Structure 1
């Protein structure tokens, strides 16, 4: 049995161990924390139907589209703390890339090259949030669809079951629908415009795909919010403030080195398809161009592009290599000594990965990492000194405050679908920038305390005002308190 542990298989195992180690990182994303708070609330009190975390939207209807993933995250957090969240994220990232690898073609060396490229492109946007479940399930759905398209196995009826589960985990279920729609449209166009070209899905297969799509739509609606769940993706992408002010919804910045793997995947796949004698299929064209558009429009979609295009790269690159007889023939067996050496390599890499993961999860390392992007010390000051409510906070820290300053309902956090464009732009952004009428907004919402960025327009304006006092300040955050609290705004209750 050990003699089947060839260099190719060893490389594959080592590759996924390294992907896990790379994906294991300290959770510094502010949105992680409101998701955790939601998960804990659901575990304690049941499903959430109205906003329980802010004072600006408290009691308003809210579709918690990630409720299932939030519960899972909370369980990992309750059992393992920061390490638990890290395992959640790294496990889903690795599992997703395994399904991408299964969807690839060619020998292990070509697959490994493509997976490294795809993982490097996607890793920029891996974070311990419900979207990691969508990353994993997107890879699973694509694998099932490509298996059907290539005539290998017909397991399409797994898809509605997966979509029913996905509809209770994250609004990224829309990705599954997009992938199905791309295959349906691509194979329809293939049958219409290239009827004699093989391989392609027959008309009967296209009809089955359409049926699976419709059943999947119905399956998504089996959730605590019913049909309303289908509207969430449209509500989210329709919020202009996302594209204008939130980094992950902006177009990628190609001046950053972390975008190089995405560019390499983009151009290498294009080049491989052009160099191959294999004709580009309509489905591949739609998947490539569609996911490229989404990725170029919003950086967070680079991960989807990596899932969809990595198998495509191997498909056409393998064709190029075979046409030129440049294919390395994989070993089927190795000597006993070589097998022992391969086992030793796997064990050593595994131990190294474990040490890396545990080393970055020490309390000191966690605190230092969090303090680089989140107002850890300022929140500690808030909790100890307990200035009066209501609190105006930076959008960038709303999620963190939701979990670590639970006595203070937030002004705003990452739930953009709840707050909407009007509130985010007029009530929040105009005020946060110290724009016209910021004082009126602070009065309107009864703001007595602010936790905002040091040096921001609003912070500078309030420092110059005799009505406000800075009670805490560091290089990142300032806590600013109204000298004479507005009537009816007492201290936060314990």
Structure 2
């Protein structure tokens, strides 16, 4: 009777848990910067009837002077995602953000479900499955971007499941990896992970045959090598072939990863306080060396190779953490269960085991209920995150007031601008196709006055102004802060310039237009006082600092703004608050310089008072 009760409780546990997972996925609005150029490309493909041959969205990248020195990379980015882009566009076009949010939820939900199903089929105890499934869910909550990479997350779990299933049950469902790889290779460049996983299994089985340890019959070997071989061949059948391997493993493309948040190591992210400590990732990461010690030589070579490879990838770049979590949850979950069985089951009576299972069943049930009720405080809002990352209202302003001419836009906004304003072209977007344009974008955004090795015809103008003039920029559309919390230096320069006029701002964005006759009407209607710009920057950085207590860059940005407008004491306070959590050398140097300046002023003031015979 007790066993039957436990089974009912376990069923209830996972029904509640997975309901909570699905609910949580649906509470996150459509927010990703990349989504918009993906659906713009999908629209282009269906409208034009072919894949793009050159960049159709940025006016800078098609200029002869900016001829791409990495044309193969541009070709890859323009064509690799075509099937996912068409699918995204069709869903969004017919259902709006609702369909995309449900699609994202379904993909991540299926990923977690597949991992759970594999653990269940492997006989893993429910409380161990609970731990690994929940940790994986927490990792998926950090991978909510509405991008083709979602399919790579799902297909990683599918490929590993099918390969493990064949080794356990020897059935022909393994042949499903062929259409999966064909589909995957036309949706996202991450299909190379599938090729790697398949290749590791092939290598492992070849070694087993060589050592005469294979448990496959001749018929099973034919099925295995036929299915895996066809899957690898199928993965080549996409517009870019296997260029994805060259993109991933050639060091010459590393320059495109500089400053990109997801390519930063999770250790670096934590140490330098970009985001809070990821308990889910570091817990799963710690499981790998632990299971190596506990299971030692009993781990299969295939599993060791896979875990080692994905572990190293995840430590080097945050974006690979979710893939490691998928692989590790399946493999380590099973191995940990075997260890527990060997350690505990043989040492205690069956009655003791039943009591433990009963206790753990109730504990996990209450944990699931607690998690579900805690999740209900968040509301499901099937809409665009226009208050977080998508500049809907700002683009409405541009469209309504018919602001014309070349734009200089924020890197993250480029995709949405293309979606809304095409055939008007952006300056840059997060595809980062052209390195020369990326460098110029950085020089402008950081308001560089001079750069060593670069000479201009007009040395009186700062470099950023020269580049804007060269591209005949008529309006500038910026995010107030970047993804790290740093204020955009160009905004402060534009606020002091007599050639640029602020005409729009909200809590996310600001727009400047050039002070020319063609902008006369919009300037007369919407010109903002300079002080409003500074008030906006102060309000934004101060509120961000209050909301995000981990990242000190909000306070550093606040201090930077105060120092630019002469409020040195306030700047020092902001810097010192930031220094309480982050002893960055540059930050400490700024504090030291201000303290020294105040000390000099005080000394000078005391001396002046003394000369006048006035006591301190």
TM tier, shorter chain? 0.7 to 0.9
Residues 450 and 240 of structure 1: CA distance in aligned 2, closer, same or farther (over 3 Å): farther
Deviates more, 1:435-444 or 1:304-313: 435-444
Pairing of 1:133-152 with structure 2 (within 5 A): 133-150=151-168, 152=170
Structure 2 Cα separation of the partners of residues 152 and 311 of structure 1: 19
Structure 1 Cα separation of the partners of residues 445 and 233 of structure 2: 42
2:98 equivalent to 1:72: no
- Deviation of the 1:429 alpha carbon: 1.8
Does the 8 Å CA contact 2:20/2:375 hold for their aligned counterparts?
no
- Deviation of the 1:94 alpha carbon: 0.7
CA deviations on 1:308-365 (whole Å, 9 max, x unpaired) are 110112221111121134499799xxxxxxxxxx9xxx9x99x9899888x4316xxx
- Deviation of the 1:58 alpha carbon: 4.7
Could you say which residue in structure 1 is the equivalent of 2:230? 215
Q: 1:464 aligns with which of 496, 500, 504?
A: 496
Structure 1 Cα separation of the partners of residues 182 and 50 of structure 2: 17
Could you say which residue in structure 1 is the equivalent of 2:430? 414
Does the 8 Å CA contact 2:162/2:174 hold for their aligned counterparts?
yes
2:419 equivalent to 1:399: no
Residues 22 and 472 of structure 1: CA distance in aligned 2, closer, same or farther (over 3 Å): same
Does the 8 Å CA contact 1:393/1:450 hold for their aligned counterparts?
yes
Structure 1 Cα separation of the partners of residues 61 and 435 of structure 2: 13
Q: 2:446 aligns with which of 427, 433, 444?
A: 433
Counterpart secondary structure, 2:513: strand
Q: Which blocks of at least 5 consecutive residues in structure 2 are unaligned?
A: 64-73, 356-364, 451-462, 481-486, 519-616
Residues 370 and 380 of structure 1: CA distance in aligned 2, closer, same or farther (over 3 Å): same
Q: 1:30 aligns with which of 21, 33, 50?
A: 33
Q: 2:16 aligns with which of 6, 14, 17?
A: 14
Does the 8 Å CA contact 2:81/2:186 hold for their aligned counterparts?
yes
Q: 2:476 aligns with which of 439, 450, 475?
A: 450
Structure 2 Cα separation of the partners of residues 430 and 205 of structure 1: 60
Counterpart secondary structure, 2:51: coil
- Deviation of the 1:470 alpha carbon: 1.8
- Deviation of the 1:160 alpha carbon: 1.8
Q: 2:43 aligns with which of 35, 40, 44?
A: 40
Residues 58 and 216 of structure 1: CA distance in aligned 2, closer, same or farther (over 3 Å): farther
Does the 8 Å CA contact 1:119/1:306 hold for their aligned counterparts?
no
Structure 2 Cα separation of the partners of residues 410 and 70 of structure 1: 19
Counterpart secondary structure, 1:235: helix
Residues 247 and 146 of structure 1: CA distance in aligned 2, closer, same or farther (over 3 Å): same
Q: 1:375 aligns with which of 391, 411, 425?
A: 391
Aligned-residue RMSD, C-alpha? 3.6
Residues 445 and 212 of structure 1: CA distance in aligned 2, closer, same or farther (over 3 Å): farther
2:187 equivalent to 1:169: yes
> Could you say which structure has the greater relative contact order, defined with CA pairs below 8 angstroms and 6 or more residues apart?
1
2:261 equivalent to 1:247: yes
Could you say which residue in structure 2 is the equivalent of 1:276? 295
Residues 376 and 158 of structure 1: CA distance in aligned 2, closer, same or farther (over 3 Å): same
TM-score of the superposed pair, with normalisation by structure 1 = 0.82
Q: 1:361 aligns with which of 358, 381, 385?
A: 381
Does the 8 Å CA contact 1:73/1:88 hold for their aligned counterparts?
no
CA deviations on 1:361-394 (whole Å, 9 max, x unpaired) are 16xxx46x43223333322222222322211111
TM-score of the superposed pair, with normalisation by structure 2 = 0.67
Task: Count how many residue pairs are aligned between Structure 1 and Structure 2.
Answer: 460
Q: Which blocks of at least 5 consecutive residues in structure 1 are unaligned?
A: 332-341, 487-494
Could you say which residue in structure 1 is the equivalent of 2:547? none
2:387 equivalent to 1:385: no
- Deviation of the 1:291 alpha carbon: 0.5
Pairing of 1:168-317 with structure 2 (within 5 A): 168-189=186-207, 195=211, 212-223=227-238, 225=239, 228-232=240-244, 234-235=246-247, 239-252=253-266, 253-254=269-270, 256-257=275-276, 259-276=278-295, 279-317=298-336
Pairing of 1:325-340 with structure 2 (within 5 A): 325-326=344-345
Could you say which residue in structure 1 is the equivalent of 2:599? none
CA deviations on 1:136-158 (whole Å, 9 max, x unpaired) are 11110010111233454353322
- Deviation of the 1:215 alpha carbon: 2.8
2:505 equivalent to 1:473: yes
Does the 8 Å CA contact 1:8/1:330 hold for their aligned counterparts?
no
- Deviation of the 1:210 alpha carbon: 5.7
Structure 2 Cα separation of the partners of residues 20 and 111 of structure 1: 18
Residues 221 and 183 of structure 1: CA distance in aligned 2, closer, same or farther (over 3 Å): closer
Residues 236 and 277 of structure 1: CA distance in aligned 2, closer, same or farther (over 3 Å): closer
Residues 460 and 137 of structure 1: CA distance in aligned 2, closer, same or farther (over 3 Å): same
Does the 8 Å CA contact 1:82/1:361 hold for their aligned counterparts?
no
Does the 8 Å CA contact 2:500/2:512 hold for their aligned counterparts?
yes
Does the 8 Å CA contact 1:242/1:249 hold for their aligned counterparts?
no
Residues 33 and 447 of structure 1: CA distance in aligned 2, closer, same or farther (over 3 Å): same
Instruction: Give 1 or 2 for the bigger CA radius of gyration.
Output: 2
Structure 2 Cα separation of the partners of residues 277 and 311 of structure 1: 18
Does the 8 Å CA contact 2:30/2:101 hold for their aligned counterparts?
yes
